[in-house]
């Protein structure tokens, strides 16, 4: 496994991309309201990226798990859609929806990646708890991002938080290294069942995207007919939050920050 280590100067370049990501996500989140289509959300993300001189990292990007390039700038996943929600003109946001926004940007050859889940208007108590649990899992996972710890420590922090709240860490999905490419080694599972025998020790200079994804009813998923959107198998609501984090000698440094999240 080839894990990239980045210098301070390189991490500052990654931070530049991450700040664009955070700004774009904030602008997009401000526009989330009943009646807007996920296609419109994608157009906003493209325009906000262009204003900042960045290239959307996901647009026409072919990830390792797909046969075809992703045709949009942002992933917009609603309710039971966990990740990779493909924007559509006829998919309209409604009151009470949980909307996950996952966005990446590339600037000067370095990438940033982050995600937030937005509640549209009033949602139920279980959905509020799900959001709280997923955010807390992210914060707990970040604490593990120190030299000498292991990827499995991050996974345990995420999985353990899910168990405390009685929700489910989704299987087969997780975080990853990031830097010159959007997806780098190592893979960082959210569910302990996905940990294989190859654990990875965390080192100074690693940059990772930590992204807990929780569901109310199941850890299992199914792929939508669009070939991209991943749903919970029982169609229960899900939530997703993500930071890009640098592992430094002084501890974790979150490179993506939002005033709203």
In a domain, 3, yes or no: no
Q: Report CA-CA distances (Å) from 214 to 34, 41, 62, 120, 232.
A: 24, 23, 25, 18, 10
User: What pLDDT, on the 0 to 100 scale, is given for residue 65?
Assistant: 75
**pTM given for the model:** 0.95
Q: Which two tokens stand for residue 23?
A: 């700004």
User: What pLDDT, on the 0 to 100 scale, is given for residue 67?
Assistant: 82
234 is in an annotated binding site: no
3-state secondary structure of 206: coil
Domain at 76, CATH number: 3.90.230.10
Please give the tally of structural domains in the chain.
Answer: 1
User: What pLDDT, on the 0 to 100 scale, is given for residue 261?
Assistant: 42
Q: Which two tokens stand for residue 132?
A: 């709280």
242 is in an annotated binding site: yes
In a domain, 84, yes or no: yes
- Cα separation, 18 vs 123, in Å, equals 29
219 is in an annotated binding site: no
113 is in an annotated binding site: yes
In a domain, 2, yes or no: no
Q: Which domain holds residue 158?
A: 8-254
User: What pLDDT, on the 0 to 100 scale, is given for residue 260?
Assistant: 45
DSSP 120: -
Mean pLDDT (10-residue bins), the chain, 261 residues: 95 98 98 98 98 97 85 98 97 98 98 98 98 98 98 98 99 97 96 91 98 98 93 98 98 82 42
In a domain, 1, yes or no: no
231 is in an annotated binding site: no
Q: Report CA-CA distances (Å) from 205 to 14, 19, 52, 148, 177.
A: 12, 19, 26, 12, 11
- Cα separation, 107 vs 116, in Å, equals 21
User: What pLDDT, on the 0 to 100 scale, is given for residue 258?
Assistant: 61
User: What pLDDT, on the 0 to 100 scale, is given for residue 257?
Assistant: 77
184 is in an annotated binding site: no
- Which residues neighbour 156 within 8 Å (Cβ) at sequence distance 6 or greater? 144, 192
102 is in an annotated binding site: yes
User: What pLDDT, on the 0 to 100 scale, is given for residue 60?
Assistant: 95
- Number of Cβ within 10 Å of residue 125's Cβ equals 7
Helix (H), strand (E) at residue 169: strand 168-169
């Amino acid at each position: 496994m080839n894990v990239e280590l980045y210098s301070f100067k390189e991490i500052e370049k990654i931070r530049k991309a991450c700040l664009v990501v955070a700004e774009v996500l904030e602008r997009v989140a401000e526009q989330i309201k009943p009646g807007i289509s996920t296609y419109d959300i994608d157009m906003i993300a493209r325009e906000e990226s262009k204003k900042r001189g960045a290239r959307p990292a996901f647009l026409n990007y072919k990830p390792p798990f797909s046969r075809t390039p992703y045709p949009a700038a942002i992933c917009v996943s609603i309710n039971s859609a966990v990740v990779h929600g493909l924007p559509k003109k006829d998919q309209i946001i409604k009151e009470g929806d949980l909307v996950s926004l996952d966005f990446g940007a590339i600037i000067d050859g370095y990438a940033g990646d982050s995600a937030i889940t937005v509640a549209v208007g009033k949602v139920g108590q279980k959905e509020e708890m799900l959001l709280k649990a997923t955010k807390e899992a992210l914060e707990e996972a970040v604490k593990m991002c120190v030299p000498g710890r292991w990827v499995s420590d991050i996974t345990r922090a995420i999985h353990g938080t899910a168990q405390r709240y009685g929700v489910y860490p989704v299987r087969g999905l997780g975080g990853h290294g990031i830097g010159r490419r959007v997806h780098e080694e190592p893979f960082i599972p959210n569910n302990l069942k996905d940990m294989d025998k190859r654990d990875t020790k965390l080192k100074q200079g690693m940059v990772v995207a930590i992204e807990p994804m929780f569901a109310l009813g199941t850890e299992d998923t199914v792929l939508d007919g669009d070939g991209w959107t991943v749903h919970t198998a029982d169609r229960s609501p899900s939530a997703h939050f993500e930071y890009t984090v640098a592992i430094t000698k002084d501890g974790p440094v979150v490179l993506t920050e939002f005033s709203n999240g």
